[in-house]
């Protein structure tokens, strides 16, 4: 079988678009080539690496004509590190590209070309925004390295700085990097399942400045733990919590089931607006606190509560959206499949003196019908599912009970578009979609969609 393009061809091509993960797309006689590091409008020389039946992959050799939106990335390990895909694109152009990607899936998958997709709500300062970092360690040629994984590998790209994470995260990761060997602590080896320190997780509460450090170890026995605790506290004074998480499994899952407190509290406190949240080592909490407020305000605006409504928050996590809604609704019922998250949600409601938010653990598609069976009726349903989108049975539940309004918070425009099509076919109408940039310099974009019964 012959293609218009063959492996090892060297070609000059024009970049027409970018994929959802930030690679440029060129077409040679209609055959798509995916080329990381390229931007729409650029003319480039490429080396074809792999060809499949319907598309191929190529490596950038050099840029003949650069895009006007191309910028010099400030990070010295971009693009080798897999944490960012779009640092070479100006921030203004990133926002335009993200809106285009949302518009594309709403048109192509949801088949809703008439539905408005608004301009992306971006950040004034799109750096140092991550309030949680998960940093692996390794030892190469007798030297400890730390950083982030190269794209689609578990090979660490060594660095002392990440411009997307907090300065405290930089300080903790470099402190451990240069002190572990001195303390006689071995880094974990995925291949041999030997060594001690697997990851360090750093969480910072933006509003209170509190920092939690979680040391993920292969054994519970941690001989030098007090020396490590003392070093961290000396280097980063606003650390209020140091935890040890024990992960004995031979797996690439980061955390194990057991966590013990080495110093301070087992939670840190943060605020979104005027609502406080306790964040534990394993709590799900939005990564970008500035944009979380933007995202949740948008969800509240679409819910348009008057104080008389009863609301469901499916996939409620630790109750972040639920407690926002509860301040403007008559009653809020939150459901989440993770029991620990529900315990956190109940504690957060108590922390804020909120009595009209109720939480239950279990699959939403099972719990919601149970609520209806007791005679409850709901005006608004808010969903904030994982990247895979809403469970098919939950969509069936929505279509069966037909709440007047659905507010869909999505971290994946593709699965949002798929679910919108299902809801449209079941009697709902999508009114509008508002993208929010939660992850600057990456290809990800979150959205809030307003959906009403026809």
List the structure tokens of 80. 């080798």
93 class by beta-carbon count within 10 Å (0-12 exposed, 13-18 middle, 19+ buried):
middle
Is 75 one of the catalytic residues? no
List the structure tokens of 242. 């140091």
Residue 22 DSSP SS3: coil
- Name every residue whose Cβ is closer than 8 Å to that of residue 129 and which is 6 or more positions away in sequence: 123, 164, 287, 288, 289, 290, 291, 440
Whether omega for the bond prior to residue 79 falls within 30 degrees of 0, making it cis, is: yes
Distance CA 53, CA 166 (A): 44
What stretches of 218-302 adopt beta strand conformation (E)?
239-246, 258-264, 267-272, 275-280
8 Å CB contact between 314 and 361:
no
CA distances from 362 to 100, 280, 396 (A): 36, 21, 17
Catalytic-role residue among 81, 162, 390, 411: 411
Interhelix angle 413-425/392-401, nearest 10 degrees: 40
What is the CA angle 74-23-103, rounded to 5?
105
8 Å CB contact between 218 and 196:
yes
Distance CA 408, CA 431 (A): 12
Distance CA 83, CA 151 (A): 8
What is the CA angle 64-65-67, rounded to 5?
140
The count of other CB atoms within 10 Å of the CB of residue 250 is: 9
Name the residue with tokens 């979680």: 214
Q: Which residues are catalytic?
A: 411
């Amino acid at each position: 079988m012959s293609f218009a393009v063959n492996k090892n061809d060297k070609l000059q091509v024009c970049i027409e678009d970018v994929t959802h993960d930030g690679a440029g797309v060129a077409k040679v006689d209609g055959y798509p080539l995916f080329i990381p590091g390229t931007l729409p409008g650029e003319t480039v020389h490429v080396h074809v690496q792999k060809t499949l039946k319907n598309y191929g992959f190529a490596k950038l050799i050099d840029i003949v004509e650069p895009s006007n939106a191309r910028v010099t990335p400030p990070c010295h390990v971009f693009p080798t590190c897999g944490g960012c895909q779009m640092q070479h694109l100006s921030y203004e152009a990133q926002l335009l590209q993200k809106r285009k990607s949302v518009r594309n899936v709403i048109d192509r998958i949801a088949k809703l070309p008439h539905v408005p997709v608004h301009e992306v709500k971006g950040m004034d300062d799109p750096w140092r925004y991550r309030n949680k970092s998960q940093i692996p360690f390794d030892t190469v040629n007798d030297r400890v390295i730390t950083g982030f994984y190269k794209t689609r590998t578990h090979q660490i790209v060594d660095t002392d700085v990440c411009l997307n994470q907090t300065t405290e995260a930089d300080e903790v990761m470099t402190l451990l990097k240069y002190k572990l060997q001195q303390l006689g602590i071995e880094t974990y080896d995925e291949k041999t399942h030997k060594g001690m320190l697997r990851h360090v997780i750093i969480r910072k509460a933006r509003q209170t400045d509190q920092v939690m450090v979680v040391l993920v170890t292969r054994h519970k026995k941690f001989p030098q733990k007090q020396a490590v605790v003392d070093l961290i506290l000396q280097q980063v004074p606003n650390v209020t919590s140091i935890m040890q998480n024990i992960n004995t499994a031979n797996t690439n899952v980061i955390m194990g089931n057991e966590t013990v407190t080495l110093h301070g509290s087992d939670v840190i406190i943060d605020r979104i607006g005027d609502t406080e949240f306790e964040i534990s080592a394993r709590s799900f909490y939005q990564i970008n606190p500035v944009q979380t407020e933007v995202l949740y305000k948008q969800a509240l605006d679409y819910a348009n509560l008057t104080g008389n409504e009863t609301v469901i928050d499916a996939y409620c996590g630790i109750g972040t959206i639920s407690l926002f809604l509860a301040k403007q609704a008559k009653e809020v019922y939150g459901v989440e499949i993770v029991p620990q998250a529900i315990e956190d949600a109940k504690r957060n409601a108590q922390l804020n003196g909120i009595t009209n938010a109720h939480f239950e653990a279990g699959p939403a598609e099972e719990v919601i019908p149970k609520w209806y069976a007791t005679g409850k009726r709901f005006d608004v349903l808010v969903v904030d599912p994982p990247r895979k989108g809403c469970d098919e049975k939950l969509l069936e539940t929505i279509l069966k009970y037909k709440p007047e309004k659905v507010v869909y918070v999505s971290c994946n425009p593709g699965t949002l578009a798929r679910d919108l099509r299902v809801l449209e076919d079941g009697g709902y109408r999508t009114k509008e979609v508002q993208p929010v940039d939660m992850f600057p310099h990456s290809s990800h974009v979150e959205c809030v969609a307003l959906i009403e019964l026809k």
